[in-house]
């Protein structure tokens, strides 16, 4: 046996040289380990005759079949959304009624205490009202969506989604596990960004990170749900409203997936050129989820966590909107001045200045976009009571001239605009680069502006 002496940082090691190449040594080592594992496993396990039905395969025969794979995914998505939307309706209105009753009592209390006008305005009309909106709009859909999603996650359906969709991601030069990160993004884009770590190749991980925001997170659901209920659901018979709203939200999500694939493809042809890395995805056995535990955990860990974050951000934002609406700038309110300044550009996108401002103020958290918008409209308008979808329809259509095109553009821009503050912070932490964080900000924003302008332009023809 010959020897090769190498020095590792001044440490001499005399390494014996074997009669074969290093990679065949590695092979031999792995093989020996696996053979040993096989030997031990055979000696210590016994399996009864394999007559049993392999349920996992039977389920996969449907869930990942050529014929049913894609329809089932769409069905699951629409089904979850339908349950979320139709289930959330009643509790949302109950919460709104309750919280706005409390709102009125608070007003009474402040008046009885002879509180100064600005104090009442800031805390009740600003802070409390926006928190009430966030809670009543967000809590019910989240409390339904998160358990349903967690059930699918625990059962083991998500890897099947990745399996079904991988061919698309491969065409886009991306990694199949990106589908898993997108599923996580459906709950929260910050969580989606963190989950991109499951992709080992840095190039494909970056693609997944930069495009994760094209999946609408839970915080953007309410905007999509409310608007599609008002403008699209409203056009059909009552009994079909939930379903048609669910279908339109599902359509927005599918559009998000299509945009993700296109942008991923574009990135892998330009900024992030490279070959697809190796892909190996385990399809774990299906598990029967523990339903009770799923409900408790998803409500405590996910729902309340996300809601808490939203409330913490909604409170000061509500106060800020009130201040903006109640301070003057020239002969108008500051709010109206800013909205007016944004209006020209916003109109090109089919929006108005208040809507664009709400998206900007919603940077810390997407959850507050709709409440902020309503707050601004209310602060300017005359309507004080707003506890039903019908009242909201009245506010948007009668007072602020919304059309179905406005609703479509708001939904599109909600799907494609800058990621929320938490997500940006997470992207900065994960990529450790301002350049890519900036890219993650610009990419969806430009896509959104382009989409909205294109739609507005085409419809205007």
Using CB under 8 A as the binding rule, whether residue 29 contacts other proteins is answered as: yes
Nearest residue to 218 via CA among 101, 295, 310: 310
What letters, b where the CB count within 10 A reaches 16 and e where it falls short, cover 49-81?
A: eeeeeeeeeebbeebbeeeebeebbeebbbebb
Q: How far is the CB of 174 from other proteins (least distance, A)?
A: 12
Nearest residue to 426 via CA among 447, 441, 415, 416: 441
Using CB under 8 A as the binding rule, whether residue 57 contacts other proteins is answered as: yes
Q: How far is the CB of 19 from other proteins (least distance, A)?
A: 7
- Angle (nearest 5°) at CA 381 between 139 and 91: 20
Using CB under 8 A as the binding rule, whether residue 75 contacts other proteins is answered as: no
Q: Give CA–CA dist 417/451, Å, rounded.
A: 11
Selected binder of other proteins within 153, 343, 352, 367 (CB under 8 A): 153
Residues 183-202 that bind other proteins (CB under 8 A): 194-195, 197-198, 200
**Cβ closest to other proteins, residue 57 vs residue 435:** 57
**Cβ closest to other proteins, residue 161 vs residue 452:** 161
Beta strands in 384-439 (DSSP E): none
Q: Give CA–CA dist 101/122, Å, rounded.
A: 18
The interface region with other proteins, picked from 55-63, 103-111, 113-121, 352-360 by CB under 8 A, is: 55-63
Q: How far is the CB of 294 from other proteins (least distance, A)?
A: 9
Using CB under 8 A as the binding rule, whether residue 5 contacts other proteins is answered as: no
Q: How far is the CB of 34 from other proteins (least distance, A)?
A: 5
Using CB under 8 A as the binding rule, whether residue 46 contacts other proteins is answered as: yes
Using CB under 8 A as the binding rule, whether residue 442 contacts other proteins is answered as: no
Q: Is 350 left (phi over 0), alpha (psi -120 to 50) or beta?
A: left
The interface region with other proteins, picked from 163-171, 338-346, 372-380, 434-442 by CB under 8 A, is: 163-171
Q: How far is the CB of 460 from other proteins (least distance, A)?
A: 38
Strands 11-17, 2-8: parallel, antiparallel or unpaired by DSSP? antiparallel
What letters, b where the CB count within 10 A reaches 16 and e where it falls short, cover 183-211?
A: bbbbbbbbbbbbbbeebebebbbbbbbbb
Residues 196-235 that bind other proteins (CB under 8 A): 197-198, 200
Q: How far is the CB of 44 from other proteins (least distance, A)?
A: 4
Q: Give CA–CA dist 33/39, Å, rounded.
A: 10
Q: Which two tokens stand for residue 296?
A: 């408790």
Using CB under 8 A as the binding rule, whether residue 10 contacts other proteins is answered as: yes
Q: Which two tokens stand for residue 163?
A: 């399996």
Residues in contact with other proteins, total (CB under 8 A)? 89
Selected binder of other proteins within 80, 88, 131, 158 (CB under 8 A): 158
Using CB under 8 A as the binding rule, whether residue 9 contacts other proteins is answered as: yes
- 456 contacts: CB under 8 Å, gap ≥ 6: 348, 349, 350, 405, 409
Selected binder of other proteins within 126, 147, 173, 176 (CB under 8 A): 176
Using CB under 8 A as the binding rule, whether residue 8 contacts other proteins is answered as: yes
Residues 78-137 that bind other proteins (CB under 8 A): none
Residues 281-320 that bind other proteins (CB under 8 A): 281-287, 290, 297-298, 300-302
């Amino acid at each position: 046996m010959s020897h090769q002496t190498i020095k590792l940082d001044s440490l001499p090691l005399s390494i014996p040289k074997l009669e074969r190449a290093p990679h065949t040594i590695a092979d031999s080592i792995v093989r020996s380990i696996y053979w040993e594992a096989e030997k031990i496993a055979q000696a210590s396990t016994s399996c009864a005759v394999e007559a049993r039905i392999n349920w996992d395969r039977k389920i996969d025969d449907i869930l990942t079949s050529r014929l049913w794979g894609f329809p089932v995914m769409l069905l699951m998505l629409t089904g979850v959304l339908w349950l979320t939307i139709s289930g959330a309706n009643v509790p949302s209105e109950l919460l709104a009624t309750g919280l706005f009753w409390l709102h009125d009592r608070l007003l009474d209390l402040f008046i009885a205490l002879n509180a100064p006008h600005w104090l009442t305005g800031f805390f009740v009309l600003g802070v409390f009202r926006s928190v009430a909106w966030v809670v009543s709009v967000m809590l019910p859909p989240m409390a339904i969506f998160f358990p349903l999603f967690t059930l699918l996650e625990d059962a083991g359906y998500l890897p099947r989604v990745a399996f079904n969709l991988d061919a698309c991601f491969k065409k886009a030069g991306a990694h199949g596990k990106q589908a898993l990160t997108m599923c996580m993004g459906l709950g929260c884009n910050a969580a989606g960004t963190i989950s991109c770590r499951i992709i080992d190749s840095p190039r494909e991980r970056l693609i997944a990170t930069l495009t994760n925001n094209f999946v609408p997170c839970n915080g953007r659901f309410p905007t999509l749900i409310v608007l599609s209920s008002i403008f699209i659901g409203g056009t059909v018979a009552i009994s079909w409203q939930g379903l048609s709203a669910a279908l339109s939200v599902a359509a927005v999500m599918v559009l998000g997936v299509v945009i993700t694939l296109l942008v991923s493809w574009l990135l892998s042809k330009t900024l992030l050129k490279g070959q697809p890395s190796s892909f190996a995805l385990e399809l774990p056995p299906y598990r029967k989820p523990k339903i009770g535990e799923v409900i408790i955990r998803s409500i405590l860990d996910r729902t309340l966590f996300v809601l808490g974050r939203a409330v913490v951000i909604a409170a000061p934002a509500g106060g800020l909107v009130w201040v903006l609406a109640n301070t003057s700038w020239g002969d108008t309110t500051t709010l109206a001045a800013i909205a007016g300044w944004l209006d020209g550009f916003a109109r090109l996108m089919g929006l108005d200045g208040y809507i664009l401002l709400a998206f900007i103020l919603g940077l810390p958290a997407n959850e507050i976009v709709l409440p902020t918008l309503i707050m601004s409209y209310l602060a300017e308008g005359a309507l004080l009571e707003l506890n039903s979808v019908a009242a909201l329809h009245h506010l948007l259509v009668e007072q602020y001239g919304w059309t179905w095109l406005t609703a479509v553009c708001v939904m599109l821009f909600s799907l494609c605009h800058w990621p929320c503050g938490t997500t940006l912070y997470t992207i900065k932490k994960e990529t450790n680069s301002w350049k890519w964080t900036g890219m993650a900000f610009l990419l969806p924003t430009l896509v959104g502006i382009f989409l909205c302008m294109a739609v507005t332009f085409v419809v205007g023809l």
